Amino acid sequence: MPLKDPEARKLYYKQWKAKRKEKLSIAPFIKKTEEERKESRRLSIEKYHKKNPQKAKEWQKAYTKNNPEKRLLWGAKKRSKDQSLPFDIEESDIIIPTHCPYLKIELTTTATRGSQRTSVYSLDKIVPQLGYVKGNVEVISHLANTMKSNATKEQLIEFAKTILERYG
C-alpha cells in the first residue's frame, strides 16, 4: 500500500471507499430464499440447544405448556403433510375444553414419562378422510382418540351397547 505518496494514498483510499460503498450498498438487497432462511434458523437453534441443553429443555416444556393450541396445530400440520391430507385450520379453530367430550375426564397438558397418556388432550379429525379442515376437528382425550381411531363406528356402537347392558 503506497502510503508515503499523498496522491497515491488519496487514490488508494478513494478506490477502497468505492469498493466498500459498493459492497455495503449491495449487501442489504441480497435476499435469502425461504429455504435458506429456514435452514439458517434451524442451524442457529440447533447450535443454541447444543450449547445450552438444560435451558432449551426448560424452554420447550414451558412453551408446550403455555401454547397448547400452537403445539396441536404444528402436529396436525406435520401429520397432514406426511399423510397427504387437506389442511386449512388455524390456531383459532382449536378450542381446548376442560374435560373430554366423550369420556368426561379432565384434560391435562402433559403426562409424566412412563405414565399413561389417557387424559392428555389430543386433536381429533371427526371424519378422518376429510383431514384437518375447519369444522372437522375437536380436542378430546388421547384415550378417546385412540379408541375412535382403532375401531369402526359400528364397533364403537356395539361396545357402548354392551357396556350399557352389563353395567346399566
Q: Enumerate the domain spans of the chain.
A: 86-168
pLDDT by residue (tens digit) across 109-156?
A: 877 776 777 888 999 998 888 999 999 999 999 999 988 887 888 888
Long-range CB contacts (< 8 A, 24+ apart) of 46-55? none
Residue 47 cell numbers, joined? 447450535
* Phi, psi dihedrals of residue 87, rounded to the nearest 5°: -145, 120
| Whole-structure pTM value | 0.65
Cα 149 to Cα 124: distance, rounded to the nearest angstrom: 9
pLDDT by residue (tens digit) across 14-50?
A: 888 888 876 666 555 667 788 988 999 999 999 999 9
